[in-house]
Structure 1
Amino acid sequence: MKIIGLFIIAYLLGSIPTGLWIGKRFYHTNLREHGSGNTGTTNTFRILGFKAGVTTLSIDILKGTLATLLPVWLGVTEVSPLLIGFLAILGHTFPIFAHFKGGKAVATSAGVLLGFAPLYLLFLLLIFGLTLYLYSMISLSSIIAAIVGILTVLTFPACHFILKSYDPLFTIIIIIMGSFIIYRHKDNIHRIRSKSENLVPFGLNLSKQIKK
């Protein structure tokens, strides 16, 4: 029963539609009606500004971290914290509090890694930051970080770099998370190919997207 309770709590934590609620409560703005229509961090930054964006990012990360650490704090050893964290990712993507239409799983996935494998998260953040500087696109940075995550979770344990050994469950969940992030960015991939993706106001924009 305790494990089932943790699954439910994690899913409900993930289901909190942070950007959507912040927009409606403090800015009288429905994010679904502006920008990309997404309720995640990127669209929150773009539509509501820096303060709302940082708040949304922090809470969405925290959702994943709290869910992952809950079984550790409660002394539950019968199930991996990763599985509990994964329920938060599902909640974030398919939130019961927002008609099952949520974000793209990037921030909450980062939160899960922060609670379970912080050094590996730091490595992926470096990849994300470098890609963002070179191409000025949060979407592409998320996609590249997801691809690198899938590749390195398969290769790093072989050379004992950051990931010291193979963990089948960790490997499977990283592959699922990464694949899901890539799939959720399918519209962004189309815009990148057509040179019409949204840009951040810094970086080199090496792919020469047309600035809006």
Structure 2
Amino acid sequence: MTILFLLIAYLLGSIPSGLWIGQVFYKKNLRAYGSGNTGTTNTFRILGKKAGIIVFLLDFFKGTLAVLLPIWFGVTDVSPLIFGMMAVIGHTFPVFAQFKGGKAVATSAGMLFGYNPIYCIILLSIFAGCLYLTSMISFSSVVAAATAIVTVIILPQLGILLPKDWILLLVVLIVASIVIIRHRDNIQRIKRKKENLIPWGLNLTKQKPLKK
């Protein structure tokens, strides 16, 4: 049963929501537009708000469902976070999309929501605050991931919100690292002040993206 649900979690994560929605409903291949990424950000930019919201929710709840399904079926010999991590890996390297996936932000958040909703909401609040200040989804994602790394180390030691659990520590370190590494090109553009922006927020870092 454990192996079956690990496979299910990976396959759930592998569903390329943005790619399929773009191809079926908009007749567009997201890989040919914008950043070429198939995740939420590029979906918003190329297909619009409605498609972006739908893709975010689908990608988010892939992670949540991967965590909760084994619990619902009584598979408790492995931490639910392991199943969630498999969904994140599936999203990043999807078998249904030539192993070229998104940057794992929404699915990682969904995984944490399934495990500890309060912790997830705190990280999402930090993401939203950074997004308002900088107008950059990439920067906000990296800050939220870095915050997850710091808090998963500190909070359990203080006995606040998170338990002392080496699997929790390991999974969060791996998933947050994936998010940060997948944003390495964005980080370079931020340094050059050329990162893409959303039409909301203060853009405090004064990014001036190249016009396309």
State the Cα distance separating 1:162 from its structure 2 match.
Answer: 2.0
State the Cα distance separating 1:159 from its structure 2 match.
Answer: 1.9
CA distance in 1, matches of 2:90, 2:13: 4
In the alignment, what sits opposite 1:121? 120
TM-score by length of 2: 0.97
In the alignment, what sits opposite 2:33? 34
1:207 to 193, 198, 205: 205
Q: Deviations over 1:11-68 (max 9, x none)?
A: 1110000000000000000000000000000000000001100010000011111110
In the alignment, what sits opposite 1:12? 11
The CA RMSD measured in Å over matched residues stands at 0.8
State the Cα distance separating 1:161 from its structure 2 match.
Answer: 2.4
In the alignment, what sits opposite 1:185? 183
In the alignment, what sits opposite 1:57? 56
1:129-148 maps to which residues of 2 (within 5 A)?
129-148=128-147
CA distance in 1, matches of 2:85, 2:140: 22
1:30-179 maps to which residues of 2 (within 5 A)?
30-163=29-162, 165-179=163-177
Seq. identity, %? 59
State the Cα distance separating 1:77 from its structure 2 match.
Answer: 1.2
3-state SS, counterpart of residue 198 of structure 2: coil
CA distance in 1, matches of 2:157, 2:68: 27
Q: Which segments of structure 1 move beyond 6 Å, counting only runs of 4 or more?
A: none
Q: Deviations over 1:179-209 (max 9, x none)?
A: 1100000010011011110101111111110
TM-score by length of 1: 0.97
CA distance in 1, matches of 2:41, 2:159: 34
Size of the aligned set, in residue pairs, is 210
Gaps of 5+ in 1: none
CA distance in 1, matches of 2:8, 2:158: 37
2:172 partner letter: I
